[in-house]
Amino acid sequence: MEKQFEDFRHQLDESGSVRERIRSVVMEMEAAARLVHSSLLLVHQSLPVLEVLEKTKLQIEVIKGLFGRLAEILRERPDQYYRYHGDWRSETQTVVSLLAFLHWLETGSLLMHTEAEKKLGLDSSEFGLDIEDYLIGLCFMSNELPRYVVNQVTAGDYDCPRKVLKFLTDLHAAFRMLNLRNDFLRKKFDGMKYDLRRVEEVYYDVKIRGLASTESTQDETAQA
Amino acid sequence: MEKQFEDFRHQLDESGSVRERIRSVVMEMEAAARLVHSSLLLVHQSLPVLEVLEKTKLQIEVIKGLFGRLAEILRERPDQYYRYHGDWRSETQTVVSLLAFLHWLETGSLLMHTEAEKKLGLDSSEFGLDIEDYLIGLCFMSNELPRYVVNQVTAGDYDCPRKVLKFLTDLHAAFRMLNLRNDFLRKKFDGMKYDLRRVEEVYYDVKIRGLASTESTQDETAQA
Amino acid sequence: MEKQFEDFRHQLDESGSVRERIRSVVMEMEAAARLVHSSLLLVHQSLPVLEVLEKTKLQIEVIKGLFGRLAEILRERPDQYYRYHGDWRSETQTVVSLLAFLHWLETGSLLMHTEAEKKLGLDSSEFGLDIEDYLIGLCFMSNELPRYVVNQVTAGDYDCPRKVLKFLTDLHAAFRMLNLRNDFLRKKFDGMKYDLRRVEEVYYDVKIRGLASTESTQDETAQA
Amino acid sequence: MEKQFEDFRHQLDESGSVRERIRSVVMEMEAAARLVHSSLLLVHQSLPVLEVLEKTKLQIEVIKGLFGRLAEILRERPDQYYRYHGDWRSETQTVVSLLAFLHWLETGSLLMHTEAEKKLGLDSSEFGLDIEDYLIGLCFMSNELPRYVVNQVTAGDYDCPRKVLKFLTDLHAAFRMLNLRNDFLRKKFDGMKYDLRRVEEVYYDVKIRGLASTESTQDETAQA
């Protein structure tokens, strides 16, 4: 019996040490993500997008390096990704939400899963980005959009609601293709419709007051 | 005593197996309803109604087939419809709300209870559509209307609020004829008045800005 | 639309009136069950069992009559037993627990499901005693036994723990044959083990202090 | 975007189907474990150990077969053991607690981790028995011991407390070698000391009343 528990002690200690190492990386990741978030918040104050992107670059490189360290820790335990997954997923979701928002600001399109992995230096065959984490990250990004739209309209950008609405509608429709289990992702997705409605209402306010630019209105009519 | 519990075990196992079979059908129904909902959401983006109807046809046939399977499971247990009713009612309510919305888009009128049963291939004498489920489904449909009105006005259809308001006012009045118990249906119906108010507000916005077309205004005055 | 809601009104009113009639019967049943319970409590004060049984007879006849009225209300709605089942099940469970306790006091054995139906004048083919209600009633009875044992020992009946323990152990083992769903019955059954442990402890106390009569000890040894 | 979500749908559906298959195996496992438990409960009524072991044999083979099915489901997903681990771990812990109790009854010694794996037909290199599940199972077994001791003393086996106390003391000491994180296992282990105290109390009762046999007392003194 003693021999067995001696073995267990080594194994539990080893797995405890893995957790400690992961925890230390994750704490740095949380700090870096917080800095990215701070910079990103400046878009609400209408700082030019390019400046915001510039400000976040460095920290995103830091985060990429941290994912590299996570991958390294897990490298000797190739089948234990999901054993420790719970220890880094929350921060990963936050990082995805930030990257996806930045990407949308830059390109107007959705950050794809493979693009997210590339930005984070991840390799699916080894240490990938879990699909559910990616999807939850997109839901978190969606939560930021109503506020962004409100602030942009306040700052005089009357075309913003139309663009965000188009993006969010497409994203929402894409999510609806999935058969989600009754879990955390499902709950987060259910919240996305409130973001959508809020953006619709802002767009409605802009239209009803004749503030949407003629050009974009024609644009939209053409699309419809 | 052992004999009795042995019997109970068989009976509980049998009823457990009925529930499992129902559950499996209901999960498919949920997935099909989600696809119908996805297509239906396109009306908010001003997709022509005929295209939306076309897109939902197939899935509605799937749902009809699933109700056929439920009816089959219950066929050997003719007096146990209400024993298992709780296991499919939530999905049934969702399905009714979708059908009623589609029907309103197509005809401008309310989907009647018998019409809903017919669309779902149900036969009241055997496996019918519970009245309360039908009514709750209508309440759920009502919840979708304010958003629809907002998006239609945004897209330039200024006559939509008047039409929806007329429909919703009639529906609300019809519900008021019922003596509802203090239960889930009552709670859902109580929520309908908020939908009504929101639609009234949109209608007000449109009128006050002189956006409602003269014709439709006269139309409405004539009807009033 | 109006015609349909007019019909619904009649149907909802009718089902509301069924519920009212059931409710009125159930209130009387609750009162009668309370009187039975009051009389039954006297066994904790060591009133002779025969006297207790005598005191409860009348009210049990009242309860039987009330079940007759329930059956009558449901007679014209043969397939709707489970539609209204929730309206009387809690009281039915209480009644079963009382009858089962009285029966055990009288005979030392478990009140079988068919015996319970007979005592309540129920006919399975028409208006029966739901198995889960019967089983939950037995769990409620089990909850009363630890207190009964403690009071009997206090009153000097040192053989009572052994008898109750035997009964409860058999009952618990019988329940364990069932594959219970994760529901109310399961939760109630899970609580039965605490009753069992408490009775075991009382029995242990009696044995350890040499209070159990020699005869019953031999008896038990013989049984083992 | 649609292509990506189409891919996700397939992946989520596939993982949902894996979960469904696991769930179905786990439900059977729960039922089989319940039957083993029912038989095992008979030791509390002093049924000879050999008879109890005989009664459980068949169901343990069933459980072994079910673990084989789990292993098969996971075989094509070699690195995803921990992804789905949460879906079967609770039942695995129960099974370990039952096996460990049976083993102790049979041999008086602790069921080792490798022995448990062998009994369940598990192969560490493929689908093993997680160490924490094994340890939690031992804690659950420990919870059963105070009740067992109480019932054995009641039935006249006054040497039982000494034997159980020795076993539990050793087990508790072995656990204390481990550096447990502040998690479920730690909480369960913390509960073990209450089992230990209760067994100590029973042993004390037996000794103070001079019920422990002289021989075993010497025995114990010699060991101490």
Return the number of other C-beta atoms located less than 10 Å from residue B11's C-beta. 13
C176 contacts chain D (CB < 8 A): yes
- Give B212's contacts in chain A (Cβ within 8 Å): none
Cβ atoms of D22 and D88 closer than 8 Å: yes
Mark which residues 22-51 of B lie under 8 Å from C by CB.
Answer: none
> Tens digit of pLDDT for each residue in B155-166?
999 999 999 999
Is residue C221 scored above 50 in pLDDT?
no
Cα–Cα distance for residue pair A166/A189, rounded to 1 Å: 17
Which residue in this structure is represented by tokens 């894996």?
A: D18
User: Running DSSP on this structure, what letter comes out for residue A80?
Assistant: -
Cα–Cα distance for residue pair A55/A36, rounded to 1 Å: 8
In terms of phi and psi (left: phi > 0; alpha: psi -120 to 50; beta: otherwise), the region of C175 is alpha
Is residue C217 scored above 90 in pLDDT?
no
Is residue A173 scored above 80 in pLDDT?
yes
Cα–Cα distance for residue pair B140/B192, rounded to 1 Å: 9
- Give D9's contacts in chain A (Cβ within 8 Å): 177-179
Cβ atoms of B156 and B209 closer than 8 Å: no
Cα–Cα distance for residue pair D206/D153, rounded to 1 Å: 8
How far is B79 from chain A, CA to nearest CA, in Å? 31
Number of H helices, E strands in chain C: 9, 0
> Tens digit of pLDDT for each residue in C98-109?
999 999 999 999
> What type of residue sits at position C218?
Q
The DSSP-derived string for A89-133 is: HHHHHHHHHHHHHHHHHHHSSPPPHHHHHHHTT-BTTTB---HHH
More confident position, D78 or B66: B66
Chains with at least 3 CB pairs less than 8 angstroms from chain D: A, C
Mean pLDDT of the residues in chain D: 91
Which residue in this structure is represented by tokens 């038990």?
A: C220
pLDDT score for A215? 47
Domains of chain A: 1-129 (1.20.58.190), 139-217 (1.20.58.200)
> What type of residue sits at position B150?
V
Residue D127's SS3 state is strand
> Tens digit of pLDDT for each residue in A35-56?
999 999 999 888 999 999 999 9
Cα–Cα distance for residue pair B92/B98, rounded to 1 Å: 10
Mean pLDDT of the residues in chain A: 91
Is residue A26 scored above 90 in pLDDT?
yes
Backbone angles phi, psi at D21, to 5 degrees: -65, -45
pLDDT score for A214? 53
Cα–Cα distance for residue pair B88/D184, rounded to 1 Å: 36
The DSSP-derived string for C124-149 is: TTTB---HHHHHHHHHHHHHHHHHHH
Cβ atoms of C79 and B77 closer than 8 Å: no
Exposed, middle or buried, A99 (CB in 10 Å: 0-12/13-18/19+)? buried
Radius of gyration of chain A (CA): 21
Is residue D224 scored above 60 in pLDDT?
no
In terms of phi and psi (left: phi > 0; alpha: psi -120 to 50; beta: otherwise), the region of B182 is beta
pLDDT score for A218? 42
Instruction: Inspect the interface and report whether the beta carbons of A200 and B147 lie closer than 8 Å.
Output: yes
Question: What's the ipTM?
Answer: 0.85
Cα–Cα distance for residue pair D12/D18, rounded to 1 Å: 10
pLDDT score for A46? 86
Return the number of other C-beta atoms located less than 10 Å from residue D198's C-beta. 17
Q: What separation in angstroms does the CA of C113 have from each of C117, C166, C188, D69?
A: 6, 20, 18, 38
**Nearest alpha carbon to residue D53 among D100, D95, D106, D98:** D106
Is residue C222 scored above 50 in pLDDT?
no
Instruction: Say if C and B touch: at least 3 Cβ pairs within 8 Å.
Output: yes
Cα–Cα distance for residue pair C196/C190, rounded to 1 Å: 11
Instruction: Inspect the interface and report whether the beta carbons of D8 and A131 lie closer than 8 Å.
Output: yes
Report CA torsion sign: A67, A73, A74, A75.
positive
Mark which residues 179-218 of B lie under 8 Å from A by CB.
Answer: 202, 205-206, 209, 211
Cα–Cα distance for residue pair C129/C136, rounded to 1 Å: 12
C193's enclosing H/E stretch is helix C184-208
Residue A182 binned pLDDT confidence (cut-offs 50, 70, 90): confident
Size of interface A-D (CB pairs under 8 A): 85
Instruction: Inspect the interface and report whether the beta carbons of A176 and B205 lie closer than 8 Å.
Output: no
pLDDT score for A198? 95
Which residue in this structure is represented by tokens 């509605």?
A: B60
pLDDT score for A174? 92
Lowest-confidence region among A181-185, A197-201, D19-23, D189-193: A181-185
A135's enclosing H/E stretch is helix A131-154
Question: What tokens were used for A92?
Answer: 């990963």
Is residue D212 scored above 80 in pLDDT?
no
Instruction: Give mean pLDDT, residues A187-200.
Output: 95
CA angle B217, B220, C1 (to 5 degrees): 150
Instruction: Inspect the interface and report whether the beta carbons of A203 and B153 lie closer than 8 Å.
Output: no
Exposed, middle or buried, C135 (CB in 10 Å: 0-12/13-18/19+)? buried
**Nearest alpha carbon to residue D138 among D193, D173, D96:** D96
Is residue D41 scored above 80 in pLDDT?
yes
